[in-house]
Amino acid sequence: MIGTGYVGLVTGACLADLGHTVVCVDRDSEKIDALSAGRVPVYEAGLEALATKHLESGDLSFTTDIQEAVSKSQFVFITVDTPPDETGRADITRVEEVARSIAGSINDYKVIINKSTVPIGSTKMVQRIIEESMEEYREYDVVSNPEFLREGTAVSDFMDPSRIVIGSDSQKAVMLLTELYRGLDAPLFVTDPVSAEMIKYASNAFLATKVTYINAIANLCEAVGADVREVALGMGYDERIGFEFLKPGPGFGGSCFPKDCRALLAISRDHGYDFDLLEGVLEVNREQHERTVAKVERLSGGLKGRKVGVLGLAFKANTDDVRESPAVRVTKMLMERGAHVTAFDPRAMDNARPELPGAGFAESAYEAVEDADVLVLLTEWDEFKWLDYERVRGLMARPLIVDARNCLDPVVLRKLGFTYEGVGR
Ligand code: UDX
């Protein structure tokens, strides 16, 4: 496993759990030392336990020596990050470097698997780089095998996937990879490499579109007096629509959706296609942040000098990740308009601190809302649903709540004397 980021660690630990012997490689020796001592740098449910278990059994190990790891392995996964460049395109410099390093260590037949989200055509490109960098020809195949792991549930997503997508022109590689994934009960979808690469982008952009669609419907529900939660339920019974991904909020975020939508737009532009629909999705998503801020502003009668208690900074619940977090974006905008923010998040405060200079950080949700003019709930952590809102009411200067995730019960809150605003209800 080359690259011990989020995807590499989850895939490595899970493959060890399926009974394979896994070596994870990273050039960052401090990281490798920490991992070898059982310290997993990301917060992901079940990952540390799984890694520790297989570290102890010897099925999982960590090294900086890519040559040794590759030469001893039958399968080589490329799981390095592909951050966006200034044009939104995925930067594949690291993938190229890794491909060159792998080439020198191919001693017998190997399946090289591209798991990183890469531009269309990258599987072929990796193949070309390896071919050019090889000193003596050895047999190998390069395969596209995109991951669909969600943060927070990545281990169970790996163990119980919706599908396994393999993009390859080599029957031998497909058969071996099928063998590797034996033990996972999921449809196996074999296709060509370019289509496999497209499946990843098309899936993420579709899900981002779905969230954006329900956000737009929520906005309309507010105007006409409908309840978006009822509307989403009524829609979901249609199997073609389904119940998932119809929760409105402050806009989608995270390390994948915004980046992949922008990358797919760049790919479209490069190929002369105007993907106006996707352009619109990103625009509506930006507006959704703005709408959330406007709601707080309206409810509190202007933001200048107001004290705002923010609950939630992670881009969604059950993660410490704040990358492209709508909660952080909204908090920033509240501060830019003169609000004094005190924020609390159960996991993401350390990551959020550098993003929010000038904000106060509380030790608890109750501390965050002390003397606040308005409470703004931005991430749907369970613990926010079960706060003692009578106590919250007593702590706040004014009883105003903007619930940007529809987590709370407006009837209960109104009885307690709050003015409540959700999304689309
Ligand atoms: C996503 C994809 O789901 C996963 O398949 C891919 O491999 C990586 O990207 P992730 O970014 O971890 O996973 O989060 P996800 O749970 O999909 O949520 C993405 C964003 O959409 C979050 O900001 C979330 O709050 C938002 N969202 C999701 C909603 O606002 N409403 C919904 O109904 C669902």
Q: Which of these is catalytic: 14, 24, 256, 407?
A: 256
Mean pLDDT for the chain overall: 97
All domains in the chain, ordered by first residue: 6-191 (3.40.50.720), 197-425 (3.40.50.720)
312-355 residue pLDDT tens: 999 999 999 999 999 999 999 999 999 999 999 999 999 999 99
* Residue 247 alpha carbon, nearest atom of ligand 1: 33
Q: Return the CA Rg of the chain.
A: 24
Cα-to-centroid distance, 252 and ligand 1 (Å): 7
Distance CA 77, CA 116 (A): 9
413-422 long-range contacts, CB within 8 A, separation 24+: 413/389, 416/389, 416/390, 417/393, 418/389, 418/393, 419/299, 421/295, 421/299
In eight-state DSSP terms, residue 84 is B
pTM: 0.95
Question: Which residues does 50 contact at the CB level (< 8 Å), separation at least 6?
Answer: 13, 14, 16, 17, 155
CB of 323 closer than 6 angstroms to any ligand 1 atom: no
What pLDDT is stored for residue 42 in this prediction?
Answer: 86
What pLDDT is stored for residue 190 in this prediction?
Answer: 98
What pLDDT is stored for residue 106 in this prediction?
Answer: 96
The answer to whether the beta carbons of residues 340 and 360 sit under 8 Å apart is yes
H helix runs in 6-112, sequence order: 6-17, 29-36, 47-57, 66-71, 93-103
What does 218-234 look like in DSSP terms, one character per residue?
Answer: HHHHHHHT--HHHHHHH
What pLDDT is stored for residue 24 in this prediction?
Answer: 98
Residue 360's pLDDT band (cuts 50, 70, 90)? very high
What pLDDT is stored for residue 117 in this prediction?
Answer: 86
230-254 residue pLDDT tens: 999 999 999 999 999 999 999 999 9
CB of 158 closer than 6 angstroms to any ligand 1 atom: no
Return the H-helix or E-strand segment holding 166. strand 164-167
Cα-to-centroid distance, 282 and ligand 1 (Å): 14
Residue 218 has pLDDT above 90, yes or no: yes
> 147 φ, ψ to 5°?
-100, 155
Query: What crossing angle do the helices spanning 276-300 and 193-224 adopt, rounded to 10°?
Result: 40
Please give the single-letter amino acid code of residue 86. E
Give yes or no: 256 in active site. Answer: yes
Q: Please tell me the chain's helix, strand, coil percentages from 3-state DSSP, rounded to the nearest 5.
A: 45, 15, 40
Residue 180's pLDDT band (cuts 50, 70, 90)? very high
- Residue from 256, 321, 405 to probe ligand 1 pocket by mutation (most atoms less than 8 Å from CB): 256
What pLDDT is stored for residue 9 in this prediction?
Answer: 97
Cα-to-centroid distance, 270 and ligand 1 (Å): 26
* Residue 321 alpha carbon, nearest atom of ligand 1: 12
267-308 residue pLDDT tens: 999 999 999 999 999 999 999 999 999 999 999 999 999 999
69-121 residue pLDDT tens: 999 999 999 999 998 899 988 899 999 999 999 999 999 999 999 998 889 99
Nearest to residue 166, comparing CAs of 140, 138, 139, 186? 186
Distance CA 238, CA 230 (A): 14
